[in-house]
Amino acid sequence: MKIVVTGGAGFIGGNFVYYELAHHPEDFVLCYDALTYAGNLETLAEAQQNPHFKFVRGDIADRAAVESLFEQEKPDIVVNFAAESHVDRSIEQPDIFLRTNVLGTGVLMDACRKYGITRYHQVSTDEVYGDLPLDRPDLFFTEDTPLHTSSPYSASKASADLLVMAYHRTYNLPASISRCSNNYGPYHFPEKLIPLMIVNALADKKLPVYGAGENVRDWLYVEDHCAAIDLILRKGKPGDVFNIGGHNERRNIDVVKIILKALGKPESLIEHVTDRKGHDRRYAIDPAKIQAALGWTPATKFEDGIQRTIEWYLAHRPWWEHIISGDYQQYYEKMYGHRGTL
Ligand code: NAD
Ligand code: DAU
């Protein structure tokens, strides 16, 4: 089977490439990625040694390029990880999120219809459900929770989900969708909370916590997410929508303190800064459907996963030092340079 992994030079897509090569050595994995600021060929260096892997640079919103890929490669399965993925960037510049996340999804699915595939899988997010109140720990997102988005990023992902469901119903496209909670683990770009805090703490820089740090995220080790997608591809049915999460809710401030403790750094590095606009309060996934239908459960406890992640960043300094020595400097100054402290 030939699997096209779009966005495979990014965080989760890169981990998924390695997951597939390790668990299905009989398959062929092709990564199609535009190599935006978030895409990194160093992430795929080991995969490039594998004869069952190939990298093609390209944009999912470029119809001619996508059609030529399908014509030449004739994929069986397409898993779409390619996206603009950072909420803060979507608040600064929403238009690129619409182009990649919505139009790009449409272009990919049109090619799937034209050339034929056995499955199109859309990697979506729990953010399509909006947020939950902090004082109602009894509430969770199920697959029936209405889509109700907060940021340009989540609105673009929800729009893509609607388009996928429409293509499934209208054209009978064999499509599925998964909506996962926050991932963490190796190859996570250091604009996101966990890697940013690890990298800053290692440099004894301030750790910018938005507001009081009481917002809650439901963290899942990235390999568990990859395992769930793999199961959906192989055992799920067209039209399926699955939530993915492991009941691991944590306040941001508590996650940051765990990282500081593990690195032996003082809590005085924490700096409370101006909150994110429209900041979602709490995400919490109910994974009952995927557990019952496909038998998926997360294998990694947060205590182990965060330790493994910190060790990975300690052992792979060149990977993130190359990132933070480039355009990232300007990004950091733009996002944090003028942010007031609380
Ligand atoms: P990422 O930002 O690390 O990687 C995105 C990748 O997509 C990069 O390699 C980038 O070069 C590529 N890309 C961007 N625009 C492209 C385009 N137009 N054409 C081709 N490639 C393009 O993102 P991530 O955190 O790995 O997220 C992957 C997917 O999973 C996204 O769809 C995201 O919405 C979803 N998701 C992420 C999380 C999370 O916690 N990170 C959780 C749930 C769902
Ligand atoms: O829930 C899934 C989503 O998780 C994915 O769809 C997104 O692609 C992914 O980026 C992530 O979105 P979040 O906005 O939850 O992740 P982020 O790492 O940006 O922020 C996590 C929390 O930490 C959030 O409450 C904001 C806060 N935060 C973040 C940064 C970058 C800080 O307090 N300080 C920071 O510097």
Residue-wise pLDDT tens digits, 247-266: 999 999 999 999 999 999 99
pTM equals: 0.98
What pLDDT score was predicted for residue 338?
85
Q: Is the CB of 181 under 6 A from ligand 2?
A: yes
Q: Is the CB of 282 under 6 A from ligand 2?
A: no
87 CA from centroid of ligand 2 (Å):
7
- Whether the per-residue pLDDT at 41 is higher than 90: the answer is yes
Q: Is the CB of 122 under 6 A from ligand 1?
A: no
Q: Is the CB of 87 under 6 A from ligand 2?
A: yes
For the CA of 180, the closest atom of ligand 2 is: 2
- Whether the per-residue pLDDT at 342 is higher than 90: the answer is no
Q: How confident is the model at residue 317 (pLDDT cuts 50, 70, 90)?
A: very high
For the CA of 157, the closest atom of ligand 1 is: 34
Q: Which residues of 22-60 are buried (b: 16+ CB within 10 A; e: fewer)?
A: eebeeebbbbbbbebebbbeebbeebeebeebbbbebbb
Q: Which of 112-116, 198-202, 331-335 has the lowest mean pLDDT?
A: 331-335
Which three-class secondary structure state does DSSP give residue 342?
A: coil
Show which residues are catalytic: 126-127, 153
- Whether the per-residue pLDDT at 117 is higher than 90: the answer is yes
Which ligand is in closest contact with the Cα of 275?
Answer: 2
Segment 268-292 shows an average pLDDT of: 98
Angle, in degrees to the nearest 10, between helices 302-315 and 252-263: 50
Question: Which of 186, 196, 188, 245 minimizes the C-alpha distance to 216?
Answer: 245
What pLDDT score was predicted for residue 169?
98
What pLDDT score was predicted for residue 340?
87
Q: Which residues partner with 178 through β-bridges?
A: 123, 242
Summarised one tens digit per residue, pLDDT across range 119-157 is 999 999 999 999 999 999 999 999 999 999 999 999 999
Mean pLDDT rounded to a whole number for the chain: 97
Q: What is the DSSP letter of 33?
A: E
73 CA from centroid of ligand 2 (Å):
35
Pocket residue to mutate for ligand 2, from 11, 91, 182, 199, most atoms within 8 A of Cβ = 182
Domains of the chain plus CATH, in order, are: 2-336 (3.40.50.720)
What pLDDT score was predicted for residue 78?
98
- Whether the per-residue pLDDT at 327 is higher than 90: the answer is no
